[in-house]
Copies of this chain bind each other. A is one copy, B any other.
């Protein structure tokens, strides 16, 4: 059985494991002060073209989301998110647990738009009886595989500045977004257009690790305290530093994401050729073809994947996710099987 359920079913890229072994007995300072972490941060500052940025390494996406948001907001301030946003849909109330409401907008494609934000602002004027929207949360790529265009990100950024809102971009799958065929955004532009964002590695070749970037060092200078206090500071911070170092000292991070995208796109193209429709059009590493029930049942004999949404009596949309580690041979086999079932 091959598992297309998610992009964290395997371990790490072998270069990371090699580096862990090679560096293993070199003594280093703890708590993120190791040489590997310092070097990895220096490289990331270059890649985002922002020498003043403050960068921290964390272990997981939910951890990153809750730490950033809880640090940046006062108690009565709230987050604006798409209803499909990870913080609202899949984090067990992590943001509310830090004291903040998540105000959601329904979207067709997982992408938040200026009109959504402005509508929410209009609905929250009865001070002090309602929460105060203060931070906009977006994901790129989104939870359903779509990506923002530069013009869209600029519009959100302008909207936030106009209304005194902070813009926070969840980049758990940022590699997949930036290597999508229709992407027109650079890492440096993300650093310019957002207040905080992060670069996810857990889902792109690392064992664990998210690099959160505060684009202005003045935004929250005490984030180190927060890391420690919320249990997010690893004694052996070296394991995060080593991984980001390997992923970013050359282009590995983007090569891995590109591979995952291409694997998914191969499947999508084959499904389209056969004549299947899609629940949503993704250009990254998750695709949502609508398949006949019989085909789904047959495929399930060899492959694991989620049935995402029932479309009608006979058809359902499924979700297939590929990763940096998905072998092209498996994808080819899946396509062959798909064709044989039409």
Contacts and interface: CB of A to CB of B under 8 A. Distances in A.
Given A2-B27, A239-B208, A231 B94 contact: yes
A104 to B, nearest CB: 10
B11 A17 contact: no
Contacts of A25: 10-11, 325
B24 A128 contact: no
A128 B60 contact: no
Copies of this chain, tallied across the complex: 4
Chain A contact residues, majority secondary structure:
loop
A188 interface: no
30 contacts: A8-B235, A9-B30, A11-B20, A11-B24, A11-B238, A11-B239, A17-B20, A20-B20, A21-B21, A59-B234, A60-B232, A60-B234, A62-B231, A75-B226, A76-B97, A76-B222, A76-B226, A89-B130, A90-B126, A90-B129, A91-B228, A93-B131, A96-B99, A127-B224, A128-B227, A128-B229, A129-B228, A202-B235, A208-B235, A230-B231
Interface of A: 2-3, 6, 8-12, 14, 17, 20-21, 23-30, 59-67, 70-71, 74-76, 78, 89-94, 96-102, 126-132, 202-203, 207-208, 222, 224-236, 238-239, 325
